[in-house]
Amino acid sequence: MFRVSLSFLAVSLLCLGLADIEITTLDPWQEMRRIAVGFLTPDVTVLYSIREAMLNTVTFAFCGIAVGVGVGSVLALFFHLTAVRLLCAFVRAIHEIFWAFLFLPVVGLNPMCGILAIGIPYAGVFAKVYAEILQEADQKPLKGLPAHTGRLSRFFYGVLPVIYGDVKHYTSYRLECALRSSAILGFIGLPTLGFHLETAFREDLYSQAPAMLYAFYLLIASLRLWVKPKLVLVYVAASFTLVSTEINLRWDNITRFLGHDILPWPMRRAGFLDGSGEISFPAGQVWQWAVDIVHTEALPGMWNTVVLTQVVLAGSGLFALIFFGTISRHFVRRRRFRGLSHYVLIVLRTTPEYILAYAFLHLWGPSMLPAIVAILLHNGAILSYLTGQNANLVRLRMDSARGKANRYFYEVLPRVYGQFLAFLFYRWEVMMRESAILGILGIYTIGFFIDSAIADDRVDKAVFLIGATALLNMGIDSISQIIRRRLRVSAGTVFTCQE
């Protein structure tokens, strides 16, 4: 365990040396002061003008979750099939923003795009986690059922009650994630909160962005007050009704996209030049097209993505090892202080890393630095929170080590380290997805090249690059699995941490 940790740390330091880190803005301190003042003087009048965006953020999230839960539950039942597992891993490996890129040309900038962008990857996630919950569910109750009980009755009496708590817990956690996803989809033009945040940042409206962020925190914090199991169906139905007026799905768009736009350019060139739109198959040229993209965009983009990922993997791990103590009763006696750091961690966790990165980019100018700090803070906060909670479960005896350092290294850290590593490796793949999309903000991870391809209306290239990213991600996911198995660490409460 120790050796693995050290080697990851070494790799990460190496990557840090390779990463391009600099501050290019003329006066970051001045900028920072303005932002701080903005956070202290939020302009609440802006809230009135973003009410529709807030509503959209919520409705897209509910519809997306509904699609994800519906499709995911069915897939979970067939998760033992390798094909289903691979399909789920594949759709999970692509970030919501990339999915939105893919749907933009098909359905346009409308709710459908947002709903599918959330629903599809979430279906993959739900399938996996629900299948895990099913698999780990207590089997004893089933044994007590009469031998010839029908399948449905078996499910509703012997399975559903047993897994219900876990399923509810995980699904409500994902609702929070869906709201984050929904919000940041605004950054690429959908009518959610991110759209207005982007405008506020871009136009230096320092008091507006914080007001919107505060509203978002309130929304997340209030979830447990108004999202009750009995009302969820009502919300979902209402959300679908609200968005249904704006959805227009045109069949010819879909067929054009699938049958034409995503095909490699060399296949379409001849038809394009003579105006017939016909498809040819010049194998040599297609190969050359693929080799060119791999050489000039996919490989450099993936390389930078991996470099960034490794830096933030170790970074957020270190962050968590330093800060988990601040919410643990073994290190901070005063409840009030623990509460305070708890809130700080929650705010960091709730702020989507994309928004953090956008703010830091504004502060420091383009380099890997904003992305590193953003992903590190977001994930570090999650890991600190989970590890801190575990640390609080540790019961120290009356004769345990005195002194905080002794207690940390001898009593607490050894007991929580295994699970901490499991959490960290679970998040590895998440961090890689985040590293990939932050390219959209101008650092040369794969997202940069995908964003440029979309901007140039080269859907074929974007699809190719997104596919490559997905494969990279699936690779990381399986390496993480192998390492976790080797180290025999497991997160236990897996679903509070996954994805």
Partner 1 sequence: MYDLENVSVAYDGAPVLKGISLRIRAGEKVVIIGPSGAGKSTLLKKLYDLRQAQSAFIHQDYALVPQLSAFHNVYIGRLDQHSVTHNLLNLVKPQKAELLHITPIFRAIGMEEKMLDRVSTLSGGQQQRVAVGRAIYRNSSIILGDEPVSAIDPHQAGGLLGVIKNSADTVVLAMHDVQLALAAFPRVIGLREGLVFLDLPSEEVGEETLADLYRRD
Sign of CA pseudo-dihedral 147, 152, 158, 163: positive
- Least distance from partner 1 to the Cβ atom of residue 270, Å: 59
Q: Is 153 in the site for partner 1 (CB under 8 A)?
A: yes
x/- mask, partner 1, residues 163-182, rule CB under 8 A, reads -xx-----------------
The DSSP result for 356-386, as a single string, is HHHHHHHHH-SSHHHHHHHHHHHHHHHHHHH
- Least distance from partner 1 to the Cβ atom of residue 130, Å: 17
Whose CA is closest to 118, among 73, 75, 62, 169? 62
3-class DSSP state for residue 51?
helix
Q: Is 154 in the site for partner 1 (CB under 8 A)?
A: yes
Q: Which long-range contacts (CB under 8 A, 24 or more apart) does 327-336 make?
A: 327/384, 327/385, 327/388, 327/389, 327/392, 328/388, 328/391, 328/392, 328/412, 329/392, 330/391, 330/392, 330/394, 330/396, 330/407, 330/411, 330/412, 331/404, 331/407, 331/408, 331/412
Exactly one of 72, 114, 158, 186 binds partner 1 (CB under 8 A); that residue is: 158
Comparison of 164 and 337: residue with beta carbon closer to partner 1: 164
Distance CA 228, CA 244 (A): 24
Instruction: From residue 389, give the alpha-carbon distance in Å to each of 317, 396, 416.
Output: 16, 15, 10
Distance CA 487, CA 79 (A): 25
Comparison of 150 and 275: residue with beta carbon closer to partner 1: 150
Exactly one of 39, 78, 157, 240 binds partner 1 (CB under 8 A); that residue is: 157
Comparison of 138 and 456: residue with beta carbon closer to partner 1: 138
Comparison of 144 and 284: residue with beta carbon closer to partner 1: 144
Which stretch in 105-113, 159-167, 279-287, 479-487 sits in contact with partner 1 by CB under 8 A? 159-167
Which stretch in 128-136, 154-162, 199-207, 254-262 sits in contact with partner 1 by CB under 8 A? 154-162
Distance CA 197, CA 108 (A): 21
- Least distance from partner 1 to the Cβ atom of residue 166, Å: 10
Comparison of 151 and 335: residue with beta carbon closer to partner 1: 151
x/- mask, partner 1, residues 113-152, rule CB under 8 A, reads -------------------------x-xxxxxxxxxxx-x
Exactly one of 7, 156, 168, 492 binds partner 1 (CB under 8 A); that residue is: 156
Could you list the residues that contact partner 1 (CB under 8 A)?
138, 140-150, 152-154, 156-158, 161-162, 164-165
